[in-house]
Chain A
């Protein structure tokens, strides 16, 4: 087949794609018009929150999948072996530290972590990275600082306690799980068949990176969509007050705030302001728990994690994060008193 014919075929395909999309847009507008008569007004509110979560997350997810594609194409297992310390504790510390300087948000970090683990980064180091990535970075520190009336105390506590909690969680995970816990066993697919990277041209690698990014985007996208929908549903139909049934004390308030952090699924860059708005209702220890717990795990990224890791692992991780963050913040509140 000639090159020219090939190009023509591509052009036709692109045009065809546009026609189908245009048809789809018109059709869903017509469908929406008829549906809006039946749907309650609150569904429109839900839809607005749902879409805003997605639109807000898309740039971050794109950054995440592009970095993941980059790791896939440009980093080999040998690199990983050379860079990551063999010693478990030092590897955990390194994971947490790298996460602290890496500006990621919790939805963008899942594809990156999956790639890292698949490339042979030990699970405990990756988990440290997963936890501190969204929690500790310049943007989050700045927004926390501002949200609490330009007071460094809350931002400092968020970073400090969060970092310690992340270390503890990663440590706990390292004693519980030895294998990589990925859903598909990829270990056999790596290594042996890997060509020496220099044999593949840079352009080809770049294209490969984009291709991986596309697949990853769709892979993560569907879980992001499900998570965003559930979070929007909770925001529209569940009253925050209904969480108050857990009581008024410090323990109860901390549980409530952690529950809120989980279900609201806010981006870590924005949650400081929401957290601050609760400081009139809750003791600051509970607000701190909200600020630390939300970036580490929430509804949106649990669903994404479930698509990548074995569910038993995700459940254990969820449990360890919950318990450790709870214990850490309660301890701090007791000491601070």
Chain B
């Protein structure tokens, strides 16, 4: 029996990965990375890694003759017994890298720079059709600290969608996406309604000085697939607000044209800076699916 150094390194990496996942779940930071819908899956994954840790533990100490014992039938050589020293070092460093940045750097939420890279939100030229709605939200008591677990029952969903017909539309996080799509699709139906929403200021090229977009990121699966949603808004104060500032706005839905395309526009009545919310992202509602 002897000590296998490389197996020990793998053991360390497994422990570190498990620790990283568990820490993300424990602190709740995981929702900064993936849609809460997938949290359970990720927890199971953490459990599997812990299990593999214990299997790996047995491999750190074993006899030489034992080396292939665990894979008796048809062992392949791809256990990297034969890899060169340099190659091994490089691969362990690569594996270490996300752990370093993961433990070391703070997770941030996406900002307007990323939004810009994702392509334009507002219609450009003629072949495009509109992409600008506004929406109505449920009341503030719905604004729970964890609008994350975005499962609604059919009833709740119908009830919330019903509130779209109220005179004041509040865009709360849990229903944001549905309201957004509804108003985007039928801007005329909602014209004249008052709307209230939070978002960050996003300015695309070609906007007038009195225009800005109040935007949010919509996340389907993980942060990498985030896309921007938001409405063109007009306000005399628009120039005072720099990009990425989080604001709460109150305005009236109007229908206007941008680059020749009809879209909902918010005439802002009131705009105030706010601190970045704890849950900056919007997750699509899941009821309709399941």
Residues of chain A touching chain B, judged by Cβ–Cβ distance below 8 Å, are 1, 6, 9-10, 13-14, 17-18, 20-21, 24-25, 28-29, 31-33, 35-36, 39, 41-45, 47-56, 58-59, 62, 66, 72-73, 76, 118, 142-143, 146, 184, 186, 189-191, 193-195, 197, 200, 204, 207-208, 210-215, 217-219, 221-222, 225-226, 228-229, 231-232, 235-241, 248, 264-267, 269-271, 273-274, 277-278, 280-281
Contact = CB atoms under 8 A, between A and B. Distances in A.
Given A10-B61, A21-B19, A222 B104 contact: no
Nearest to A22: B19
A241 B222 contact: no
A117 B285 CA distance: 41
Contacts of A212: 71
A72 B19 CA distance: 28
B103 A48 contact: no
A20 B96 CA distance: 13
9 contacts: A1-B1, A25-B19, A44-B105, A47-B105, A48-B107, A52-B33, A55-B30, A76-B73, A142-B289
Interface stretch (B43-51, B159-167, B195-203): B43-51
B221 A215 contact: no
B220 A273 contact: yes
Interface string B66-80: 000011111111111
Contacts of A45: 108, 110-111, 113-114
B15 A211 contact: no
Contacts of B127: 248, 281
A13 B102 contact: no
Nearest to A197: B73
B15 A218 contact: no
B220 A215 contact: no
The 7 closest A-B pairs by CB, nearest first: A32-B104, A270-B221, A56-B222, A52-B223, A52-B33, A240-B119, A59-B45
B123 A29 contact: no
Interface in B203-248: 218, 220-225, 227
B65 interface: no
Given A28-B99, A240-B117, A240-B119, 13 more contacts: A6-B61, A14-B57, A20-B12, A24-B16, A29-B103, A49-B110, A55-B30, A143-B220, A189-B76, A195-B72, A239-B116, A273-B227, A281-B128
Contact of A270 (B98, B105, B225): B225
B73 to A, nearest CB: 5
Contact of B120 (A6, A42, A48, A241): A241
B60 A32 contact: no
B13 interface: yes
Interface string B1-44: 10000001011111111010100100000101110001001101
Contacts of A231: 224
